[in-house]
Amino acid sequence: STESINHIIRVSAFKQRQKGYGDHIITTQIEHPAVLETVRYLQRAPHNFRVTYLKPDKYGMIQPSALKKALTPRTILVSIMHSNNEIGTINPIKYLCAQTKQFNRNILFHSDTSQSIGKVPVYPQKWRIDFVTIAGHKIYAPKGIGAMYCNPEVRRCMPDDSSDTQSYNLLYGAKQEFGYRPGTVNIAYCVGLGKAAEMCQVALTSDHMATIRYLRDLLYEEIISNIPPQYHDKIRVNGHPYIRLPNTLSISFGFLRNTEITKRIFKYVACSTGAACHSGDVKLSYVLEACGVSINYGMGTLRISVGRYTTEKDVMLSAKVIASVVSELYSKQFSRL
């Protein structure tokens, strides 16, 4: 999916500017690094594209009003994720794309749907999205395989001459994959992605996602119920309370350090923190920071996900382990006051 994002953003930006449409790109402050680092590359010299980074609301959602203010006659590309990988909030991509096309139909619209595919319905053609990014490992395909969806209308606008078609490539070489991505195709991984996609269709047409949502909510409820009530006002859930992915729980334990929690639970629970460590410096997650989460809560954030093979027993055990450690840390902290 990282290659897909680079291909879409870099090639689209250069071709749009070559056509004389402009040099302005719009994205958000909370995109995956694959998007953010690519647009930063385009923003720097010698490319010098102009980039606007939309700020989300407190739930991590990009509002159509924010996009409307950012669109200009020189805008050539909009890239907004369908759902956020840290907090799970789902963006109103259908309306964001429609607003973009209404302003100028020549603006290309890309959405990173890596977190959403297989969990919630996504309709690229119905929503008139030009490009979609898919990550295989997010839907239980092998790691290292992904896909790029290109709207047929966009492809029809591309030249028929094969030599010119290669000018839409990120890489250059032979003419595999309709001439857009050279290199020997990894057949085994492609088959794995296809099979995983088939299984996702079954999951979306059944009540499987309702089960995932139930387990996610149960995890939160069990964590809270096993922590003494006097600490409840220091706990918050990040992201939109309803419009979010069914599997993701981003929970902040105010005034605690998530590193202190994870080093005590890692033998039993695998989870990530709301902070990134670079050269020994622990910093607040840029996603939480953009949503206005204070450092006192952000540094105590855990991101926990449930999946296809998670059981109710797993959830109950994990909740008790997390709650026990959090309760112990709060007790020690407040006993010193």
Q: What are the residue numbers of the active site?
A: 277
Burial 147-185 (b: 16+ CB within 10 A, else e): bbbbbeeeeeeeeeeeeebbebbbeeeeeeeeebbeeee
Asked if residue 262 lies in contact with residue 322, where contact means CB atoms within 8 angstroms, the answer is: no
Q: Establish how many alpha carbons lie within 13 A of residue 244's alpha carbon, considering only the half-sphere containing its beta carbon.
A: 24
Give the sign of the dihedral formed by CA 178, CA 27, CA 84, CA 300.
positive
Long-range contacts, 293-299 (Cβ 8 Å, 24+): 293/238, 293/252, 296/254, 296/255, 297/236, 297/252, 297/253, 297/254, 297/255, 298/252, 298/274, 299/256, 299/257, 299/258, 299/274, 299/275
Here the tokens at position 35 are 């998007």
